[in-house]
Chain A
Amino acid sequence: MSKVLLDKKDMERAVTRMAHEIIEKNKGIKTICLVGIQRGGVHIANRLSAKLKEIEGSDLPVGTLDISLYRDDLNVRKDQPVVRRTQVPCEINNKKVVLVDDVLFTGRSIRAAMDAVMDLGRPSAIQLAVLVDRGHRELPIKADYVGKNIPTSMNETVAVELIEDGEEDRVVLE
């Protein structure tokens, strides 16, 4: 059984609200740097960047962060993660880095992402924006901006489907 949790319109509204919250919390976008976690987070970060431009009128480059080399399960996974590009076009020293991911679950990816960001420089702060928070944290990590909180059970999966990947915009619970 699968259930649609967010459709295209819901997703757009969630991104719009998160963009407003980012601006409010940081008093604009001058001090921030958007970094999407490969791969799903990059698409959400691009959408946030476009929305922020719409509201604030200035371009905000999006960095991409590959966390596979920082994962804590490299030794135990059956399939080795594919290494993708890490390209952060803005200086992150003394900037507020807003990490963007599609789904927040155990928090382990975010731990890895924070280590990866710290190796790139010393940001003044790291914030976290996620489209979906499905709960079940295994580390003391909390998102600053959440598109939608979705209570799930451990055996369910949350799939974020995006037009960037050739699918229809929606979030599905399976």
Chain B
Amino acid sequence: MSLRSKDLISIKDISTEEIELILETAAGFKDVLGRDIKKVPALRGKTTVNLFYEPSTRTRTSFEVAAKRLSTDVINITTSTSSVVKGETLLDTARTVLALGADIVVIRHSCSGTSHFLAKNIEASVVNAGDGTNEHPTQALLDLFTIQEKKGRIRDLEVAIVGDILHSRVAKSDIYALTRLGANVRLIGPPTLVPDYLKDLGAKVYFDMNAGLEGADVIMMLRIQLERQGKGFFPSTHEYFRNWGLTAARVSRAKDDAIIMHPGPMNRGIEIASEVADSSRSVILDQVTNGIAVRMAVLYLVSGVKA
């Protein structure tokens, strides 16, 4: 069994079997991460290029670590230091990167659909590391992996996703992935950030935090994108925390063994209280480690598909 496409662009476009293959492969790579020698020669001689048109520390670092653990060479290109600031187009940059010998291009861009465009135009494998407000598939896959690891299953779990769903590509990929694997998804947040049409994706919408968290198995917090502050989505971060911030009292509405997730970076005191982020229920750091294993699986699997 292998992936059908040389690229990983979106959760929406891959089959349930492909999601399961990625998760099973990631379990094998997690074994590698637990050893003294955390490296395998699988992709020796290949080159991975991280092409980041948007600031990112953790996703870029995670992809970089994953690529290095697979023995590929890694080149990081960030727009602030590249010829993009001199006006080069995306396709020209990508072609240049290919001429340098790239086998896999990991791309993040503020425009939705960029990775899809790139994948259609170059021979190398393209992995979407976040495109605009569209998708962030590897984040959803690492979330699935973490839930599966902690809960032993995904089917029939009650998963509450809280925060800025509207602008969150993480939330979108998570909704597609979770509903596909049979979880019940609830979306919680202010009406300005949780549009009603999201019901069409098979999720339940709650504007009241306590009601939404009742009996949840998994609480996924999203980062409040502070750059959206003052644009009318919510009056103030203080008021946001009072209504939709995750506090210990609100966690108690969920099941006793509920886990708490956050894709990072966290805004302590805005979407999540410190005592909750640091509690034993929090699996936020497990998500970081699992992210490496999942990205190793993705890089390995896409490189095995001949164009």
Contacts and interface: CB of A to CB of B under 8 A. Distances in A.
Contacts of B1: 82
A31 to B, nearest CB: 21
Contacts, number: 47
B160 interface: no
Contacts of A87: 31
Contacts of B284: none
Contacts of B101: none
B162 to A, nearest CB: 34
A74 B301 CA distance: 11
Nearest to A119: B37
A79 B43 CA distance: 15
B301 A80 contact: yes
A69 B2 contact: no
Interface string B6-39: 0000000000000000001101110110011101
A53 interface: no
A57 B305 CA distance: 48
A84 B28 contact: yes
Interface string B197-238: 000000000000000000000000000000000000000000
Interface string A105-139: 00000000001000111000000000000000000
Nearest to A83: B28
A78 B43 CA distance: 15
Interface string B47-63: 00000000000000000
A86 B301 contact: no
Nearest to B3: A80
Interface residues of A, number: 19
A66 B30 CA distance: 13
B75 interface: no
Contact of A79 (B2, B24, B35, B41): B2
B111 interface: no
B40 interface: yes
Contacts of A78: 306
26 contacts: A66-B31, A69-B40, A69-B42, A70-B40, A70-B41, A70-B42, A74-B42, A74-B304, A80-B2, A80-B300, A80-B305, A82-B1, A82-B25, A83-B25, A83-B297, A83-B300, A85-B27, A85-B31, A86-B32, A87-B31, A115-B41, A119-B35, A119-B37, A120-B35, A120-B37, A121-B36
Interface of A: 66, 68-70, 74-75, 78-80, 82-87, 115, 119-121
Interface of B: 1-2, 24-25, 27-29, 31-32, 35-37, 39-43, 45, 297, 300-301, 304-306
Given A80-B301, A83-B300, 10 more contacts: A69-B40, A70-B41, A70-B42, A74-B43, A78-B306, A82-B1, A85-B31, A115-B41, A119-B40, A121-B36
